[in-house]
Structure 1
Amino acid sequence: MPHLVAAMLLMLVTGFLIKLLQQPHVIAYLIAGIVIGPWGLSLISDIHVISRIGAMGVILLLFFVGMETDARQLVSNWKLSLFGTVVQIGLSVLSVWILGALYDWSFERILLIGFVISLSSTAVVIKLLQDSSILKTKVGQAVLGVLLAQDLAIIPMLIALGILGSDEVNSSHLMLQGAGGLLAGGFFAFLVLKKQVHLPLSRWLMQDHELQLFAAMNICFGLALITAWFDLSTALGAFLAGMLINAAKETQWVHHTLDSFRVMFVSVFFVSVGMLLDIGFLIDNLLEVLALVLLALLTNTFINAFILKISDYSWTDSLYAGVLLSQIGEFSFVLSAVGLQIGLISDYGYQLAICVIAVSLLVSPFWINAGKKLLNWNDKDEHNLSEEK
């Protein structure tokens, strides 16, 4: 208990300091995780428990994003989301291949590292979009579409790495994921085509806020559990659940009621990311880590900016979207762990990947703020989609 109180006090103090510096709270959570984790003061040593609680934060975050998303507007950007993500991953792998040719890396390692740097952080970017009130702008919706497409791309990435790391392909596993993908796509199409959805016992739900709360939570974690059973992202299921709640007017009240829970669990997620950072390893390999982080930020910024530019966005909007998507995402931790398990990277390579991912998440808000000021980007000229209705 004393360690828990000390950890919460540290988060509060760090939050105040970060607020004085006019930086997002994400920075405070990451720093707190580094300090209280096993590589810092060791106030909390069980990373697995914290990571599981933090995973609930990502689920709730995507659940809320689903409740705020216009399905038809998301569909209107499907070409950017689908083809843009494919091109972006391909260019990321190509960039790593050029670097890997200098160091004689194997094709498997090049593919793994290319996959790792191609994924942006859904949790970080959406949190920043929400805090800046630009989630519903044209750029915000474009970035959201790309993030969701990247979350889906983790499936074929894991399949490809599994094939490279084993002699056999598990056909039943592939069929399960394929069936889950089709069901998720069908459910999404249903929500797009259906103007309004009525939940069972809707008349009772409209009259009872407590029932609304439990109905919404069951839908959120229920769909997340279903997508997990199909070996798909739990965040995908939570996002679809949020869209269902958005279409079902009987449960609109829960949006504001659950917001405090979302803040708490999302903060724990970022704390868990900070706890993964091995300070000793980072200090010993600081120059290499910083060089790789800078390379990843620049590569992702310009690749994503190029993709939005060819999708008829202005250079200013394209570059700002590229800056937003520049960091390496939390799902890259999963890819790195898989790469270690199947022997594509060594323990040193895995620790290096963890440091690069964590540091990219840590510096991402500073990078985004600097890019916004340099580009002189603001949402005043952006047409807010919520005002269109």
Structure 2
Amino acid sequence: MDIYLLQYASAILITAVIVLLIFNKLKLPTMIGLFITGIVIGHAINDTSIISTLSELGVVFLLFIIGLEFSIEKFSAIKRYALIGGALQVFLTTIAITLLGLFLGLNLRSAIFFGFLVAFSSTAIVMKIMQQKHMTHSIQGRVTLGILIFQDIAVIGVILLTPILGGETIELHLIPTVILKFVGLGILILIGAKWFIPLALRDAAKTKNRDLFMLLTLFICMGTTFATSLIGIGPELGAFIAGLLISNTEYSHQTLGYIQPFQDVFMSLFFISIGLMVNLHLFLYNITSILILTALILLINFAVTFFVGMILKLPTKVSVTIAILLSQIGEFSFVLASEGMKFGLMTKQFFSIFLGVSILTMSLTPFLQKLTPKIIKQFGKISYFQVDEELKSIPEELEEARPIEDHVILVGMGRIGKQMTRACRQFNVPILAVDQNPVVVEQQQALGVPIIYGNASNESVLKELRITSAQCIVISASTYEGTLKTIDTARRLNPDIHIIVRTKYLKNIEEVIEAGADEVIPKEFETSILMFTRIMDYYNKDMDEIAEAVNDLRSDNYNAFRSVSSEDVSAYLSNSFTDIELDSLRVYNDAHISDFPFEKYELTITSVIRENNTITNISDNFQFLEDDIILFTGQRDDINKFFEAI
């Protein structure tokens, strides 16, 4: 390896670390620190071509992720806002900035191109802000995402139009060939989306080999991008198509988890590379012009987007929020600007000014977003704008069913997962499940179980399971290392979530609790209890004695019995050697013994487990408390009828 490459890489990384540490202490946005890192490094490194090449991968991965997260179902719900809103926003912004460009002395072609540059917002910045503020599933977030998707698709069309805008002529005799290439690409995409990619991902997932799955997804991303480039389509569109090919499969969430780290690294290099392009001397020389132009562009973008929101009849509060989020110049504008330089649509001096303006608009976005409530309050003082604080005037098509919350996340759909699913459904407890076996996922989806494919230790997978709004997560199927990672990720994303873990061995309890679990159920200990009950039954011991002994064992060695479902208790204590069976029932609200039809179905209550105590003296006036577990015996048919009756 070239020693100079190592030297440059080390210099970039240590500079970025130092700058970001300072920015973190000052609680300033990371992105600004990356820009400054590039500016600082730009004065120390002469050859920046390698960094620029690597940074382009950041854009490729960003488009790939946008394609991955694109959902036809979600898009159809907001298609009016994405298509009409996005088209109006791009068109009106382009017109307004074109007029500004003409006023500044640009020729018509350059002014139009300048309008295109400003019309596109930063997907990376806006998405990061929405994720940090938990706005992704809000009305503002959904409409903003729709407009961003339109922009990301539109920018590809603008890149194709740039040569024509630059004066290049269209060779008519090549049109049939181009059409043939696009038709061929469309056929290949359909074949890949319907057969090849789902089957390839399914086979890779079945091996449970992380490296194989990750390399396959990278190949799909890079291979599709390369294939589209061969027929003259830019890598950005190719990456977006690659993401779309995977987005409609059940493997999109896991793929996102694997690709996200690559995208984060390369996008950081992308922002650094933008800083590298800044000529500090020209920036300071033109600082007045840059500041004025920055203010004008922010104002124009805000006004246009707000006006579009009004046309779409969105509440004022929503329109203001969206207008602020989309007020900056985006990262794709740098890609577009590079194309414009090739065709003489921008001079080097104007490119330098545009670069400074872009960086300032992007850097100011996080600060402007924090001012959103104050800006909305100012709009509320104007009689024309009635700010709907509770968003009572939401358009009908934007209204959606209340998103799932206070739910249980089930990690693993083995025996325990299936039992938990039945128990939760019986008591109307909402669940979301995840499993790493694609066959199991397909089977459970066919049964109507809300389950996705993925590794629960992956942050993107847990976010898809709405970890931030969940009440509890039950980890019953994972490797020991995977369990610890899942606990760490879940606790980091939702510090208040209740974590229940099933481990193999008693020796792991302390470490799992230290990792962040609230309750641990060791399979080894539960197996020993099951064996003990079977031995005692073989010696014809009384069921009350067995229950009391089991309770003593739990009290001495294990303090998480209350988290065990009633079905698990039944499995451990059922008498399988006679026609009389032992079953159990958990009490979810305080109740009297007469509230349950035990006598009607000839069932006998043997004991009640209350916390770590076993109560055997059950009178006719006995009062059950919440979380009591009732142990009772009877014929299996009678027990089934009893459960149907309650």
Same fold, TM-score > 0.5, yes or no: yes
Higher strand share: 2
Report the structure number with the largest CA radius of gyration.
2
What is the Cα deviation at residue 176 of structure 1?
3.4
1:13 to 6, 12, 18: 18
* Corresponding residue for residue 33 of structure 1: 38
What is the Cα deviation at residue 48 of structure 1?
2.4
* Corresponding residue for residue 206 of structure 2: 206
Deviates more, 1:17-26 or 1:275-284: 17-26
Opposite residue 35 of structure 1, the aligned amino acid is: V
* Corresponding residue for residue 300 of structure 1: 301
Correspondence list, 1:173-252, <5 A: 176=178, 180=182, 198-200=198-200, 202-207=202-207, 208-250=209-251, 252=253
| Contact 1:137-1:383 within 8 A present in 2 as well | no
What is the Cα deviation at residue 292 of structure 1?
0.7
Deviates more, 1:368-377 or 1:22-31: 368-377
| Contact 1:23-1:365 within 8 A present in 2 as well | no
Q: Distance in 2 between the 1:115 and 1:181 partners?
A: 28
Given the superposition, is the C-alpha separation of residues 277 and 72 from structure 1 closer, same or farther in structure 2, using an over 3 Å criterion?
Answer: same
Q: Is 1:22 aligned with 2:24?
A: no
Q: Distance in 1 between the 2:184 and 2:77 partners?
A: 20
| Contact 1:30-1:362 within 8 A present in 2 as well | no
Q: Distance in 1 between the 2:40 and 2:402 partners?
A: 41
Given the superposition, is the C-alpha separation of residues 373 and 176 from structure 1 closer, same or farther in structure 2, using an over 3 Å criterion?
Answer: farther
| Contact 2:38-2:273 within 8 A present in 1 as well | yes
* Corresponding residue for residue 358 of structure 1: 359
Correspondence list, 1:127-166, <5 A: 127-166=128-167
| Contact 1:29-1:271 within 8 A present in 2 as well | yes
Given the superposition, is the C-alpha separation of residues 111 and 56 from structure 1 closer, same or farther in structure 2, using an over 3 Å criterion?
Answer: same
Given the superposition, is the C-alpha separation of residues 346 and 211 from structure 1 closer, same or farther in structure 2, using an over 3 Å criterion?
Answer: closer
| Contact 1:24-1:128 within 8 A present in 2 as well | no
Q: Distance in 2 between the 1:384 and 1:21 partners?
A: 41
Deviates more, 1:173-182 or 1:24-33: 173-182
Given the superposition, is the C-alpha separation of residues 212 and 102 from structure 1 closer, same or farther in structure 2, using an over 3 Å criterion?
Answer: closer
Given the superposition, is the C-alpha separation of residues 108 and 268 from structure 1 closer, same or farther in structure 2, using an over 3 Å criterion?
Answer: same
- Secondary structure of the residue that 1:200 maps to in structure 2? helix
Q: Distance in 1 between the 2:55 and 2:183 partners?
A: 25
Q: Distance in 1 between the 2:73 and 2:139 partners?
A: 13
Given the superposition, is the C-alpha separation of residues 250 and 296 from structure 1 closer, same or farther in structure 2, using an over 3 Å criterion?
Answer: closer
Q: Paired residues, what number?
A: 380
| Contact 2:67-2:243 within 8 A present in 1 as well | yes
* Corresponding residue for residue 115 of structure 1: 116
Deviates more, 1:262-271 or 1:75-84: 75-84
> So what's the TM-score if we normalise by structure 1?
0.83
Deviates more, 1:262-271 or 1:338-347: 338-347
- Secondary structure of the residue that 2:136 maps to in structure 1? coil
Opposite residue 22 of structure 2, the aligned amino acid is: L
| Contact 2:89-2:308 within 8 A present in 1 as well | yes
| Contact 1:206-1:212 within 8 A present in 2 as well | no
What is the Cα deviation at residue 11 of structure 1?
1.4
Q: Distance in 2 between the 1:320 and 1:363 partners?
A: 15
What is the Cα deviation at residue 26 of structure 1?
1.6
Gaps of 5+ in 1: none
Given the superposition, is the C-alpha separation of residues 200 and 333 from structure 1 closer, same or farther in structure 2, using an over 3 Å criterion?
Answer: closer
Opposite residue 332 of structure 2, the aligned amino acid is: F
Given the superposition, is the C-alpha separation of residues 105 and 252 from structure 1 closer, same or farther in structure 2, using an over 3 Å criterion?
Answer: closer
| Contact 1:30-1:274 within 8 A present in 2 as well | yes
> So what's the TM-score if we normalise by structure 2?
0.52
Gaps of 5+ in 2: 1-5, 378-386, 392-398, 406-449, 451-646
- Greater length-normalized contact order (CA 8 Å, ≥ 6 residues apart): 1
Q: Distance in 2 between the 1:348 and 1:174 partners?
A: 40
**Alpha-carbon displacement from aligned partner over 1:309-333 (angstroms, at most 9, x marks no partner):** 3223221111111111111122222
**Alpha-carbon displacement from aligned partner over 1:56-99 (angstroms, at most 9, x marks no partner):** 12222333344344331113322322332332233223323443
Q: Distance in 1 between the 2:318 and 2:70 partners?
A: 20
- Secondary structure of the residue that 1:126 maps to in structure 2? helix
| Contact 1:212-1:251 within 8 A present in 2 as well | no
Q: Distance in 1 between the 2:217 and 2:404 partners?
A: 26
What is the Cα deviation at residue 182 of structure 1?
10
Given the superposition, is the C-alpha separation of residues 184 and 117 from structure 1 closer, same or farther in structure 2, using an over 3 Å criterion?
Answer: farther
* Corresponding residue for residue 309 of structure 1: 310
What is the Cα deviation at residue 201 of structure 1?
6.7
What is the Cα deviation at residue 260 of structure 1?
2.8
- Secondary structure of the residue that 2:127 maps to in structure 1? helix
* Corresponding residue for residue 350 of structure 2: 349
Deviates more, 1:239-248 or 1:12-21: 239-248
CA RMSD of aligned residues (A): 3.6
